[in-house]
Amino acid sequence: MRLVGLDAMVRLQRELLRRFIKTVDRQDSRDRRFIGTLESLAGLALSCACKRPRKSALRGLNGTRPQNFCRFCGKPVGLKSFADDDSQVRGNDDNLRLSSKYCADHQPLLPSGASNPAYKRAKRSVEQFDIELGRLNRQCANRGTPQAASGDPLVDRYFHRYLLSQTVQPADKGELRNQARLMVDSKLSDRKKQILILQWDGLNQSEIARKLGIERQAVSKALKSLASTPKLLQLKE
């Protein structure tokens, strides 16, 4: 890790914060103030980093324009990532296929010319993606209390708890978009979010079922279906 510059400063602050939260943090008012201070510092460094003019020479493209995200996730659009990354250049005709709306993973067409199933899936779920992104943005902007405004107190609490264990900042637009994508791709429905937050509260499957007015088997099935989703989404990290 090159410990020079604002980006490194942000990374360092985040790493310190992450280690603190995982070890020393007792969640008392002093620790919360400490976390708040570190978050402010990282935010400040990030703001400075965002304002800094980019000198990197992008081949023929305007390097100072704001980063454009893929419509379906937090990765840069084809044109931008093409400009940043030599390894993406696969041949002259590639230029023609690179879209300015989607990242390399979500291009409508695969390099072979066949239609891309990842694009189709993402297109079908774009509404849910926008919903989850909105919730993440609202919660991230003020992480002290549940702020997701999902219309369901348990889902709001899920987002509150989910973001408490992370150091992602409102300015990390790409990261938040990737998290919304992950939620949708993991098929993490609101029902599953309710089950997960109640599980986090320490309720067993029967208690969760009673609370939600569903069968215990439904709870058990939902939890089984979550087994392979990232631990962070399961509130287990």
Minimum separation from the CB atom of position 187 to Zn ion (A): 18
79 close to 100: Cβ distance less than 8 angstroms: yes
Task: Decide whether 72 or 158 has the Cβ nearer to Zn ion.
Answer: 72
224 close to 233: Cβ distance less than 8 angstroms: no
Minimum separation from the CB atom of position 62 to Zn ion (A): 22
167, two tokens: 């150091």
Minimum separation from the CB atom of position 59 to Zn ion (A): 22
Task: Decide whether 181 or 192 has the Cβ nearer to Zn ion.
Answer: 181
Task: Decide whether 97 or 191 has the Cβ nearer to Zn ion.
Answer: 97
Phi, psi of 8 (to 5 degrees): -65, -40
195 close to 187: Cβ distance less than 8 angstroms: no
End-to-end alpha carbon distance in the chain: 25
Q: Which of 169, 175, 73 is nearest to 123 (CA)?
A: 73
Task: Decide whether 102 or 162 has the Cβ nearer to Zn ion.
Answer: 102
| Closest chain position to Zn ion (CB) | 70
Residues forming contacts to Zn ion in the complex (CB under 5 A) are 70, 72-73, 75, 103, 106
DSSP 8-state assignment for residue 109:
B
Task: Decide whether 101 or 138 has the Cβ nearer to Zn ion.
Answer: 101
How far is residue 25's CA from residue 39's CA, in Å, rounded to a whole number?
Answer: 14
How far is residue 78's CA from residue 99's CA, in Å, rounded to a whole number?
Answer: 5
Minimum separation from the CB atom of position 167 to Zn ion (A): 23
Task: Decide whether 73 or 163 has the Cβ nearer to Zn ion.
Answer: 73
Q: Is 7 helix (H, G, I), strand (E, B) or coil?
A: helix
Minimum separation from the CB atom of position 135 to Zn ion (A): 19
Minimum separation from the CB atom of position 106 to Zn ion (A): 4
